[in-house]
Structure 1
Amino acid sequence: MMSSLLQKQNLTTEQLQLLASEMSKKQKSGGVAWLLWFFTGGIGGHRFYLGRIGTGVAMLLTLGGLGIWTLVDLFLMSGMIKSTNESIENEILSEIRLLSQAKANTEVAAGRE
């Protein structure tokens, strides 16, 4: 989380707006994740939603470890949601960095001509 904060300090206002816009589109909702856990927890619906496909399939095949895994997820859900959203934010920050580097390279190349 701290590295994400440091990365955001160096962003322009335009880049911060882009980050906020992309996060609003891509981040996972805690409410949706909890509803999926409640209604489809036994078959791993919440894990599929959070991008944890492998463990989602394992829960699907074992019916949530016969309910035990589903109960354990009750305590793990908040951390899974936070972790997933931090990963999404880091991906977006990487894309913004790549875009700004490409823009800078284009400006430098245009200045040479």
Structure 2
Amino acid sequence: MANVDSAHTRAMMEYNARAKSTALGYILWFFLGFLGAHRLYGGRVGTGILQILLHGLGWLTAPIVIGYLFLGLWGLWWLVDAFLIPGWIRDYNLDVARRVGA
């Protein structure tokens, strides 16, 4: 019985160490959203890098006006992400729980 409790405790400790926070996801979204930090944190590395590139391309091409289109697309994407963050974090944490057996 002690081994079962010990294994469960270890699994819970590992889960707590690896789980992500929705609150931190929103903090990253608000303050570092232009860098795609919330997507990187949520495990969406490819689209996080794409957000960085879209934002940078928007600012680089803003003097020739087309950049405002890129920035507008990025801004819309950033707003939609606000509704997606809880699902990403929940899915990530469920995957962690399955892996550690918590």
TM-score by length of 2: 0.72
- 2:62 paired with 1:54: no
Percent of paired sites with the same residue: 34
Q: Which amino acid is 1:88 matched to?
A: V
2:36 & 2:88 partners in 1: Cα distance?
Answer: 13
Gapped regions of structure 2 (runs ≥ 5):
56-70
RMSD of aligned alpha carbons: 2.0
1:49 & 1:66 partners in 2: Cα distance?
Answer: 18
CA-CA distance at 1:86 after TM superposition: 0.9
Alignment of 1:9-88 (within 5 A): 12-63=4-55, 65-88=73-96
CA-CA distance at 1:73 after TM superposition: 0.6
TM-score by length of 1: 0.66
Gapped regions of structure 1 (runs ≥ 5):
1-11, 97-113
- Tell me the number of residue pairs that the alignment of Structure 1 and Structure 2 aligns: 84
Question: Which structure is higher in RCO with an 8 Å CA cutoff and minimum separation 6?
Answer: 2
Aligned to 1:3: none
